[in-house]
């Protein structure tokens, strides 16, 4: 799933390609991805892109005040095209969900792999009209976000597990499964640790959040969309690396499997050497 660093890089890449360009049309291949009906997608035709922005994991293409907002969900992605493809878009079982075409035929395809489809596209007058955008918590990389802000979030979460707090978009915008694993590994914290923690622990978490996300953005800076997935995978220390050696201590990276997701961690670095039970109701490790 694209998270804050990848969506940031996508916004930067698309901003450089789209700003000042005129939209010819938005073609919908999977009509289920469109979550709004007024304004219609046809309202984008003839508008000039004035910028591309990020709200958490949402991409926002501003076209003369009309906003094309996208959430790529778990398996969505964007593929740039230099020219208009010869084949027409037809509804089917393939990964293509939508296609943005500029007035010279270039543009991008929005794809979604797999059978579980949850990619979402909105055409709105204001990005805040998208429920997921309106309910976002603060962006952890925003200029005004401080350790005191994190303290208030953690205090409000109480005994909730820190892994879930980091992933909760209404509390912190943009962090998902992969980077929450990475942040907690850098902070040397169990994913099951309660959000209510000491000042020293909170400081360690804040520093880990800032360094992990900023380092990921720095690695992705200047990369085209086609290179971002590979860069993300290569830069991860524990997430998706079950059975490999921890790059810090050499212990074997382990995972916990839930119904629809998994997470990875290092026992030596994060849980005092104790493996976490592989079930939802595992005992919390403090």
Residue 41 belongs to domain with CATH number: 3.20.190.10
Measured in degrees and rounded to the nearest 5, phi and psi for residue 157 equal -80, -20
In-domain check, residue 280: no
Are β-strands 262-265 and 120-124 bridged in parallel, bridged antiparallel, or unpaired? unpaired
Q: Which pLDDT value is given to residue 90?
A: 66
Task: Check whether residue 122 and residue 181 sit in a common domain.
Answer: no
Domain membership of residue 243 as a residue range: 147-270
Question: 199-220 and 147-157 are packed helices; what angle lies between their axes, rounded to 10 degrees?
Answer: 120
- Residue partners of 258: CB distance under 8 A and separation at least 6: 280
How many domains would you assign to the chain? 2
Q: What is the pLDDT along the chain (286 residues), one digit of tens a residue?
A: 789 999 999 999 999 999 999 999 999 999 899 999 999 999 999 999 999 999 999 999 999 999 999 999 988 999 999 988 776 666 666 899 999 999 999 999 999 987 778 999 999 999 999 999 999 999 999 999 999 999 999 999 999 999 999 999 999 999 999 999 999 999 999 999 999 999 999 999 999 999 999 999 998 887 777 778 778 888 899 999 999 999 999 999 999 998 778 999 999 999 999 999 875 444 444 4
Task: Check whether residue 196 and residue 116 sit in a common domain.
Answer: no
CA distance 51 to 140: 22
Residue 77 contacts residue 111 (beta carbons within 8 Å): yes
Task: Check whether residue 130 and residue 152 sit in a common domain.
Answer: no
Task: Check whether residue 98 and residue 173 sit in a common domain.
Answer: no
CA distance 67 to 127: 6
In-domain check, residue 84: yes
Task: Check whether residue 63 and residue 152 sit in a common domain.
Answer: no
Q: Which pLDDT value is given to residue 6?
A: 93
Question: 177-187 and 199-220 are packed helices; what angle lies between their axes, rounded to 10 degrees?
Answer: 130
Q: Which of 134, 162, 193 is the last residue of a domain?
A: 134
In-domain check, residue 276: no
Q: Which pLDDT value is given to residue 286?
A: 45
Task: Check whether residue 10 and residue 128 sit in a common domain.
Answer: yes
Q: Taking CA 80 as the corner, what is the angle to CA 77 and CA 81, rounded to the nearest 5 degrees? A: 135
Q: What does the DSSP 8-state code read for residue 251?
A: P
In-domain check, residue 141: no
CA distance 170 to 56: 10
In-domain check, residue 282: no
In-domain check, residue 164: yes
CA distance 144 to 139: 9
Task: Check whether residue 48 and residue 81 sit in a common domain.
Answer: yes
Q: Which of 91, 110, 134 is the last residue of a domain?
A: 134
In-domain check, residue 223: yes
Residue 269 contacts residue 263 (beta carbons within 8 Å): no
Query: CATH code at 167?
Result: 1.10.8.50
CA distance 237 to 230: 14
Task: Check whether residue 194 and residue 122 sit in a common domain.
Answer: no
Q: Which of 81, 111, 134 is the last residue of a domain?
A: 134
In-domain check, residue 139: no
Q: Which pLDDT value is given to residue 87?
A: 65
Are β-strands 120-124 and 107-112 bridged in parallel, bridged antiparallel, or unpaired? unpaired
Task: Check whether residue 28 and residue 105 sit in a common domain.
Answer: yes
Task: Check whether residue 12 and residue 129 sit in a common domain.
Answer: yes
- Helix, strand, or coil here: 100? strand
Task: Check whether residue 25 and residue 76 sit in a common domain.
Answer: yes
Task: Check whether residue 259 and residue 192 sit in a common domain.
Answer: yes
């Amino acid at each position: 799933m694209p998270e804050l660093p990848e969506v940031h890089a996508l916004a930067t890449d698309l901003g450089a390609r789209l700003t000042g360009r005129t939209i010819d049309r938005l073609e919908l291949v999977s009509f289920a991805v469109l979550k709004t009906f007024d304004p219609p997608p046809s309202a984008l035709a003839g508008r000039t892109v004035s910028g591309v922005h990020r709200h958490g994991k949402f991409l926002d293409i501003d076209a003369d005040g009309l906003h094309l907002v996208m959430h790529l969900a778990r398996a969505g992605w964007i593929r740039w095209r230099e020219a208009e493809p010869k084949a027409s878009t037809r509804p089917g079982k393939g990964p293509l969900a939508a296609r943005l075409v500029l007035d010279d035929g270039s543009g991008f395809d929005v794809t979604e792999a797999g059978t579980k489809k949850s990619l979402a596209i909105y055409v709105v007058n204001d990005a805040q009209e998208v429920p997921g955008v309106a309910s976002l918590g603060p962006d952890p990389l925003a200029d005004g976000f401080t350790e005191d802000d994190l303290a208030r979030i953690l205090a409000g979460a109480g005994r909730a597990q820190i892994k879930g707090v980091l992933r909760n978009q209404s509390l912190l915008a943009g962090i998902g499964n992969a980077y929450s694993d990475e942040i907690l590994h850098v902070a040397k914290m169990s994913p099951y640790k309660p959000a209510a923690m000491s000042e020293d622990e909170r400081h360690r978490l804040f520093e880990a959040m800032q360094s992990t996300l900023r380092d990921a953005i720095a690695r992705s800076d200047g990369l085209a969309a086609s290179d971002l997935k590979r860069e993300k995978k290569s830069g991860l220390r524990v997430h998706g690396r079950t059975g490999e050696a921890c790059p810090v201590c050499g212990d074997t990276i382990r995972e916990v499997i839930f119904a629809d997701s998994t997470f990875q961690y290092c026992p030596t670095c994060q849980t005092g050497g104790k493996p976490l039970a592989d079930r939802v109701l595992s005992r919390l490790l403090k």
